[in-house]
Amino acid sequence: MAQLTRVSGSVGLITLQNPPVNALSAAVRQGIVDTVKKAVSDPLVKCVVICGQNGVFCGGADIREFGAPMTGPPLVPMIHAIEATNKPVVAAIEGAALGGGLELALGCHYRIIHSKARVGLPEVTLGLLPAAGGSQRLPRLIGVPAALELITTGRHVSAAEALKLGIVDQVTDDNTVDTTVKFALSVVGRSLESRRISTFPCPPVSDLDAVFDVAMQRVRQSARGAIAPVTCVQAVRAAATLPYTQGMKREQELMATLFTSGQARALQYCFFAQRAVSRWSMPSGARWDTSKPRPISKAAVIGLGTMGRGIAVALAQAGLSVVAVETQEKQLMDAKQAVSGMLERGAKRRGVAPALGLVSYSHNIQAVAEADLVIEAVFEDMDLKKKVFQQLSAVCKPGTLLCTNTSSLDVDHLASQTPSPELVVGMHFFAPAHVMKLLEVVYGPRSSPQAVATAMQLGKKMGKVSVAVGNCRGFVGNRMLKPYMEQAFFLLEEGATPELVDQALEEFGFAMGVFRMSDLSGLDVGWRVRKADGLVDPDATSGRSARIRQGRRYSPLGDLLCEQGRFGQKAGRGWYQYDKPGSRVAKPDPWLHNFLEQYRARHGLGVRHIDHQEVLERCLYALINEGFRILEDGIAAGPEDIDAIYVFGYGWPRYRGGPMFYAGMVGLANVLERLEHFHQVHPDVPYLQPCSLLRRLVASGSPPIQKWREVIRKVHSQL
Ligand SMILES: CC(C)(COP(=O)(O)OP(=O)(O)OC[C@H]1O[C@@H](n2cnc3c(N)ncnc32)[C@H](O)[C@@H]1OP(=O)(O)O)[C@@H](O)C(=O)NCCC(=O)NCCSC(=O)C[C@@H](O)CCCCCCCCCCCCC(=O)O
């Protein structure tokens, strides 16, 4: 797992060998300990170079080992032994040196990096801190402010920036190992006293307390309940205030508080879930590894409203040539200006040239004739979308993939408007489409595996976390949102306020509570959908019938607000009030409180005390229950798909791992018991009736989430 060879006569070359990223597994650590010892004791070896196999230096500690008891030599003494050698040890960094990988490099006496490689201490994103000396060495090397920023954000740093910060000694465009071998030979015989970072004093900072106070405030604000960023600040403070040995002791103590925490487990689960969703499968048995995507070089977007503009930007930023079509001339001109602006701002941020030339604009749908793939993003109206699909079928060259950006309409129904339904899939983007990471790729019963593979690959090219899901009302994300929002409305009827519900959800870690979110996205969106579903009945203003629709409990509160023109932020009032239309600062609204009181009185609803726990259980367990139904129905292939959708598209706090992971953490039996209780109290709310898959999992002893697929497979095989 680490190989020692002698090159250029007197250089001991140690190559880490653990594909794909040379993670520091027990075997690799053992290999490093053994090979370093051998190289140091070999009189023919004058200096040592450490590199990684296959163009990657090292992706850090092996995260997969964290769940099991530690075996093999620990990292800290291993790195100390390297630093303490009296022969120069130089790290040859290709690809990436991250986490423990960079900590290993910081234990070396010099670091040479390829210009395309990157370094970083991303432990915080896994709920940890750099506990192989990283929190103590990096501040000593580059100063407290820069180290604080890197360690608390986990940001990856380019080779150029690493050189500027002083993390590396040299950047090369040539063969990194050859360059490093030459460099190592050139420093043989030089004193190593000034190269051991652990012996450096931390560069002094004027007003250290103020620096740490500001950093603590910043992480507390942005972390919204995540403990690792706060602990990282404490670890760097130890570097700045304690001698190295004591600082290391503090680093270990702080790591011990994080290592077995639920947040670390959740974040590490998210790391693997994000990667697992790319290995998609369909109920037909089609899979990611047996379905070949088609090459896409020219794409088209139909409809240049907010979503269409964002999609055009995302496509162009991914390097595709884009035809942007909008039939209304004024809208087309506005869109052209907006898309160019977004491309220019994005390019400035990324330090590249804007891809303005990649987008062409037309008001004629004929312009898409040569596109390999078209994404329809017109208004959410089935008749309009059907018309667009019929036109596209007539215009596009044979084999063009037709995608719809619908957020809930039936993809299969749209596919039936074309002679080639196998070429139709949903590509459900989230606003703003060029920013949000999530993409739901929706396959209908007739979508071909190749169409799914192509949309998934395109999503990846656009930098999205793409999740393949089946076709049903609302797909995965919006389908689960419905019971969640429904419970929030019911809680208002029973005595809660929007502020109370939102506070509970925001303290849980959501960026925004359900009512603030509804004000942001606009209350009229849901109103239109409910109207189309025949749920809105303006005559049913009082009596029990006003709160029962289609045989189940219904809250008309959202409809009543819409009737008053309270559409949310854009109207300056919704569940909250705002200083002016478009303002973002939500303030509690006495009008709304009064309205709720009158509403409850009119319907004879008693007011009771509702606490945060009830808000969380009612809203989140209803959502989770629907997640189990989605798994049971085969709409999502596994819990990781649902969790990735919620973490990357719906603001679910990443340190809670996603709704399905959270259910496992709370205990499936507890979730079941609370749902049973709530369903008993509210028998007219079908969403609270525990799903049979949840019962089944509890009956099978609540297996860990990694084993749910086995139970799901059994359920499907019995259907
Ligand atoms: C490296 C990457 C940038 C590569 O990206 P790329 O896009 O090319 O590839 P993928 O991301 O798709 O990855 C490919 C493949 O590899 C898997 N993988 C990647 N990194 C790791 C890893 N570090 N470990 C295991 N597996 C990894 C990945 O999952 C993919 O496989 P899959 O099957 O899932 O498709 C990119 O991969 C990347 O960013 N990787 C992560 C980098 C990172 O975050 N590194 C930090 C790791 S944590 C760390 O290093 C910790 C150290 O600081 C210190 C550890 C000290 C431990 C001491 C413990 C003391 C505990 C004391 C407590 C005692 C408690 C008590 O009991 O009392």
Cα dihedral sign, 184-187-190-193: negative
248 lines ligand 1 (CB under 6 A): no
H-helix or E-strand containing 15?
Answer: strand 11-16
Task: Compute the distance between CA of residue 436 and CA of residue 516 in angstroms, rounded to an integer.
Answer: 19
Task: Compute the distance between CA of residue 449 and CA of residue 635 in angstroms, rounded to an integer.
Answer: 15
Residue 323 has pLDDT above 70, yes or no: yes
Q: Which of 63, 136, 151 to mutate to test the pocket of ligand 1 (most atoms within 8 A of CB)?
A: 63
Residue 407 has pLDDT above 80, yes or no: yes
Tell me how far the alpha carbon of residue 58 lies from the centroid of ligand 1, in angstroms.
9
For helices 612-633 and 668-681, angle between their N-to-C axes, nearest 10 degrees: 110
> How much is the pLDDT for 550?
82
Binned at pLDDT 50, 70 and 90, residue 408 comes out as confident
ipTM over 0.95? The verdict is: yes
314 lines ligand 1 (CB under 6 A): no
Binned at pLDDT 50, 70 and 90, residue 657 comes out as very high
What average pLDDT does the segment 474-494 reach? 97
> How much is the pLDDT for 543?
62
Binned at pLDDT 50, 70 and 90, residue 453 comes out as very high
> How much is the pLDDT for 419?
96
671 lines ligand 1 (CB under 6 A): no
Tell me how far the alpha carbon of residue 13 lies from the centroid of ligand 1, in angstroms.
24
62 lines ligand 1 (CB under 6 A): yes
422 is catalytic: no
Instruction: Give the angle 303-306-307 at the CA atoms, nearest 5°.
Output: 65
Tell me how far the alpha carbon of residue 122 lies from the centroid of ligand 1, in angstroms.
9
Q: Please, what are the domains in the chain? A: 2-259 (3.90.226.10), 298-474 (3.40.50.720), 496-602 (1.10.1040.10), 612-634+637-717 (1.10.1040.10)
* Mean pLDDT for all residues in the chain: 96
Helix (H) and strand (E) counts for the chain?
28, 19
Task: Compute the distance between CA of residue 268 and CA of residue 65 in angstroms, rounded to an integer.
Answer: 11
79 lines ligand 1 (CB under 6 A): no
Tell me how far the alpha carbon of residue 25 lies from the centroid of ligand 1, in angstroms.
10
- The answer to whether residues 407 and 305 touch, using CB atoms and an 8 Å cutoff, is no
H-helix or E-strand containing 565?
Answer: none
pLDDT for 117-156, tens place per residue?
A: 999 999 999 999 999 999 999 999 999 999 999 999 999 9
Give me the catalytic one of 65, 83, 94, 123.
123
> How much is the pLDDT for 717?
86
Report the candidate in 447, 397, 440 with the shortest Cα–Cα distance to residue 421: 447
pLDDT for 339-348, tens place per residue?
A: 999 999 999 9
Residue 537 has pLDDT above 80, yes or no: no
> How much is the pLDDT for 225?
93
Q: For atom 42 of ligand 1, which residue has the closest CA? A: 59
pLDDT for 559-583, tens place per residue?
A: 999 999 999 999 999 999 999 999 9
Residue 679 has pLDDT above 90, yes or no: yes
Q: For atom 65 of ligand 1, which residue has the closest CA? A: 256
Residue 290 has pLDDT above 70, yes or no: yes
Tell me how far the alpha carbon of residue 703 lies from the centroid of ligand 1, in angstroms.
25
19 lines ligand 1 (CB under 6 A): no
What average pLDDT does the segment 619-629 reach? 98
> How much is the pLDDT for 540?
64
> How much is the pLDDT for 538?
65
Q: For atom 6 of ligand 1, which residue has the closest CA? A: 21
96 lines ligand 1 (CB under 6 A): yes
Report the candidate in 179, 181, 169 with the shortest Cα–Cα distance to residue 49: 181
Please give the residue that has the higher pLDDT: either 552 or 147: 147
Are β-strands 96-98 and 89-93 bridged in parallel, bridged antiparallel, or unpaired? unpaired
Give me the catalytic one of 83, 94, 103, 380.
103
Residue 305 has pLDDT above 70, yes or no: yes
Binned at pLDDT 50, 70 and 90, residue 386 comes out as very high
SS3 sequence, 98-157? Answer: ECHHHHHHHHCCEEEEECCCEEECHHHHHCCCCCCCHHHHHHHHHCHHHHHHHHHHCCCE
> How much is the pLDDT for 541?
61
- The answer to whether residues 698 and 497 touch, using CB atoms and an 8 Å cutoff, is no
pLDDT for 197-256, tens place per residue?
A: 999 999 999 999 999 999 999 999 988 899 999 999 999 999 999 999 999 999 999 999
> How much is the pLDDT for 542?
61
Which atom number of ligand 1 is nearest to the Cα of residue 63? 24
326 is catalytic: no
635 lines ligand 1 (CB under 6 A): no
Provide φ and ψ at 118, rounded to 5°.
-140, 160
- The answer to whether residues 569 and 578 touch, using CB atoms and an 8 Å cutoff, is yes
Q: For atom 38 of ligand 1, which residue has the closest CA? A: 59
Tell me how far the alpha carbon of residue 461 lies from the centroid of ligand 1, in angstroms.
23
154 lines ligand 1 (CB under 6 A): no
Tell me how far the alpha carbon of residue 618 lies from the centroid of ligand 1, in angstroms.
35
Q: What is the pTM of this model?
A: 0.96
100 lines ligand 1 (CB under 6 A): yes
- The answer to whether residues 523 and 514 touch, using CB atoms and an 8 Å cutoff, is no
66 lines ligand 1 (CB under 6 A): no
Tell me how far the alpha carbon of residue 129 lies from the centroid of ligand 1, in angstroms.
13
Q: Could you give the percent of the chain with pLDDT greater than 90?
A: 93
Query: Strands (DSSP E) along 229-380, which ranges?
Result: 298-302, 321-325, 359-362, 373-376
Residue 338 has pLDDT above 90, yes or no: yes
Which atom number of ligand 1 is nearest to the Cα of residue 62? 24
Q: Which residue, chain included where needed, has tokens 């508080």?
A: 257
255 lines ligand 1 (CB under 6 A): yes
Tell me how far the alpha carbon of residue 75 lies from the centroid of ligand 1, in angstroms.
14
Task: Compute the distance between CA of residue 321 and CA of residue 301 in angstroms, rounded to an integer.
Answer: 11
